[in-house]
């Protein structure tokens, strides 16, 4: 930060304290304060010999970011091409653009990083300290913040900001981007309308949340959708939606609200569809029980492939307790999950759907001893493109009940 920017920032802060206002809630007033102080500085610099301002607009942006935004990180947050920002140490600040990693020239101090994190957490009501060295939170724009501090990390605070992208709203936009075949998009649209239970799988940053949002955009506007997430990421404007997120325990260790609790609460809220942002642990059992109650649902899961996603979903519920075994879980997954959509992040940073799999509902082998869920591949990558395999879902009851015919789409796609 230049001496001119520092001086102007300090003068605006002094004026804010004197007037007793909150710039975070009154951005228009902040813009006026900064403009006034820049003009005063420029007038005085002529007579005092202070450094002249080369670009008033650049200084205005920098001072405003320091006062109401997130300081030196604000330009990256404002840049729509930047997808993620992470800090490994004060001199190792990275960004991801179009799926590719870049080391930025930005250098911060440990104190600046701590100050930025505190400001980011201010609106969330969450905290990070020695008793709670991890934190997940949502920024005001919906971006997701994750922080880990020493002594869990070796020396410096580790900060990740996954930016919220509000541009993608529907499956057709994924088709335009080349992430999805047109016929596959139409099949997925029919699957959502028919109320199929859909599992979206993939690696980190493969586009799972984007795919969930695109799928939900195809749901009927009259549907009441309940979303459950660790931190808010899904955005479904203009619908009958209730969004819920987890809560950390207080300093006394009380008040924690887990995904398991939220899934159970969601069942009491008259849902037409339940969506779990991501399942990682024992909450997968509660999700399966919810899906078995006749309510359509969706969720995402980290996995290497669509078939691995089914296997993992058969394993995670076992974390719920010793009285849960594979003899119950495997058949439940086989009967509950209707479709698996696997997303992939390529080496060149492109995100695409690499496979769409339809479980048959049957289990090959003993369910509690390595039983494998039968599944038919409907779409798969061929010559670098997602194409229909010629396979058809064996369970079509939900399509028939909704008056929809997926076979016509699949047959035309395979032709």
CA distance 378 to 410: 8
What are the chain's domains?
1-68 (no CATH), 71-164 (3.30.450.370), 171-414 (3.40.50.300)
- What pLDDT is recorded for position 217? 93
Please give the C-alpha separations between residue 197 and each of 122, 154, 168, 358, 373, in angstroms, as whole numbers: 37, 42, 22, 10, 16
- What pLDDT is recorded for position 367? 55
E strand or H helix that includes residue 18? helix 3-19
Are 199 and 340 a contacting pair, CB within 8 Å?
yes
- What pLDDT is recorded for position 166? 62
Please state the rounded mean pLDDT for residues 131-137.
88
The angle, 0 to 180 degrees and rounded to 10, between the axes of the packed helices 3-19 and 56-68 is 50
**Alpha-helix residue ranges (DSSP H) falling in 229-371:** 259-266, 283-291, 306-315, 326-336
- What pLDDT is recorded for position 354? 96
Better-predicted residue by pLDDT, 273 or 125: 273
Angle at alpha carbon of residue 279, lines to 395 and 122, rounded to 5°: 140
Are 192 and 225 a contacting pair, CB within 8 Å?
no
Q: State yes or no: pLDDT of 129 exceeds 60.
A: yes
Q: State yes or no: pLDDT of 66 exceeds 80.
A: no
CA distance 53 to 288: 61
Q: State yes or no: pLDDT of 65 exceeds 80.
A: no
Please state the rounded mean pLDDT for residues 3-17.
79
> Two tokens at 76?
């990256």
Q: Average model confidence (pLDDT) for the chain? A: 88
> Two tokens at 161?
């900001």
Please state the rounded mean pLDDT for residues 318-343.
91
- What pLDDT is recorded for position 370? 64
CA distance 62 to 34: 10
Helices then strands (H, E): number in the chain?
A: 14, 15
- What pLDDT is recorded for position 12? 78
User: What is the layout of strands, in order, in the sheet containing 372-382?
Assistant: 240-245, 224-229, 273-276, 297-302, 198-202, 339-345, 351-364, 372-382, 385-388
Better-predicted residue by pLDDT, 17 or 295: 295
Better-predicted residue by pLDDT, 13 or 269: 269
Q: State yes or no: pLDDT of 366 exceeds 70.
A: no
- What pLDDT is recorded for position 360? 94
Give the residue among 197, 157, 145, 228 at the shortest CA–CA distance from 338. 197
Q: State yes or no: pLDDT of 167 exceeds 70.
A: no
pLDDT, tens digit (0-9, with 9 covering 90-100), for 87-112: 999 999 999 987 789 999 999 999 99
Q: State yes or no: pLDDT of 30 exceeds 80.
A: no
Q: State yes or no: pLDDT of 368 exceeds 60.
A: no
Tally the C-alpha atoms within 13 A of residue 165's C-alpha that lie toward its C-beta. 22
Please state the rounded mean pLDDT for residues 223-238.
89
Give the pLDDT band of residue 315 (cuts 50, 70, 90). Answer: very high
Q: State yes or no: pLDDT of 25 exceeds 80.
A: no
Give the pLDDT band of residue 293 (cuts 50, 70, 90). Answer: confident
Give the pLDDT band of residue 283 (cuts 50, 70, 90). Answer: very high
Better-predicted residue by pLDDT, 115 or 287: 287
Q: State yes or no: pLDDT of 407 exceeds 60.
A: yes
pLDDT, tens digit (0-9, with 9 covering 90-100), for 177-212: 899 999 999 999 999 999 999 999 999 889 999 999
- What pLDDT is recorded for position 391? 92
CA distance 203 to 342: 9
Q: State yes or no: pLDDT of 169 exceeds 80.
A: no
User: What is the layout of strands, in order, in the sheet containing 158-162?
Assistant: 100-103, 92-97, 82-89, 158-162, 144-148, 134-138
Phi/psi of residue 24, each to 5°?
Answer: -65, -30
């Amino acid at each position: 930060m230049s001496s001119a920017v520092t001086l102007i920032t300090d003068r605006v802060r002094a004026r804010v304290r004197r007037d007793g206002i909150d710039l975070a809630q009154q951005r228009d007033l902040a813009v006026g304060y900064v403009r006034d102080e820049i003009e005063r500085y420029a007038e005085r610099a002529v007579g005092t010999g202070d450094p002249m301002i080369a670009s008033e607009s650049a200084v205005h942006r920098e001072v405003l970011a320091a006062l109401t935004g997130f300081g030196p990180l604000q330009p990256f947050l404002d840049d729509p091409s930047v997808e993620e920002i992470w800090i490994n140490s004060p001199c190792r600040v990275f960004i991801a653009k179009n799926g590719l990693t870049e080391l930025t020239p930005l250098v911060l101090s440990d104190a600046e990083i701590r100050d930025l994190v505190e400001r980011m957490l201010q609106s969330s009501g969450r905290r990070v300290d020695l008793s709670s060295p991890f934190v997940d939170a949502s920024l005001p724009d919906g971006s997701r913040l994750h922080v880990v501090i020493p002594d869990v990390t070796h020396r410096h605070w580790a900060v990740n900001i996954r930016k919220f992208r509000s541009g993608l709203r529907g499956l057709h936009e994924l088709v335009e981007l080349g992430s999805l075949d047109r016929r596959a998009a139409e099949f997925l649209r029919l699957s959502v309308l028919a109320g199929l239970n859909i599992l979206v799988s993939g690696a980190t940053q493969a586009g799972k949340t984007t795919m969930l949002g695109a799928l939900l955009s195809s749901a009927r506007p009259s549907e009441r959708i309940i979303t459950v997430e660790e931190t808010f990421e899904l955005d479904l404007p203009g619908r009958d939606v209730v969004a819920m997120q987890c809560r950390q325990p207080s300093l006394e260790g009380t008040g924690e609200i887990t995904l398991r609790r939220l899934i159970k609460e969601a069942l009491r809220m008259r849902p037409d569809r339940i969506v779990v942002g991501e399942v990682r642990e024992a909450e997968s059992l509660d999700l399966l029980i919810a899906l078995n109650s006749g309510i359509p649902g969706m969720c995402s899961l980290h996995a290497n492939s669509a078939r691995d996603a089914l296997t993992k979903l058969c394993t995670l519920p076992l974390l719920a307790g010793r009285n849960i075994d594979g003899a119950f879980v495997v058949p439940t997954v086989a009967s509950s999950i209707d479709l698996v959509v696997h997303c992939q992040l390529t080496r060149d940073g492109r995100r695409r759907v690499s496979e769409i799999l339809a479980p048959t509902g049957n289990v090959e082998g003993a369910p509690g001893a390595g039983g494998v869920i039968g599944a038919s591949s409907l779409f798969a990558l061929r010559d670098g493109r997602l194409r229909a395999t010629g396979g058809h879902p064996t369970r079509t009851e939900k399509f028939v009940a909704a008056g929809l015919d997926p076979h016509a789409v699949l047959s035309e796609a395979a032709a």
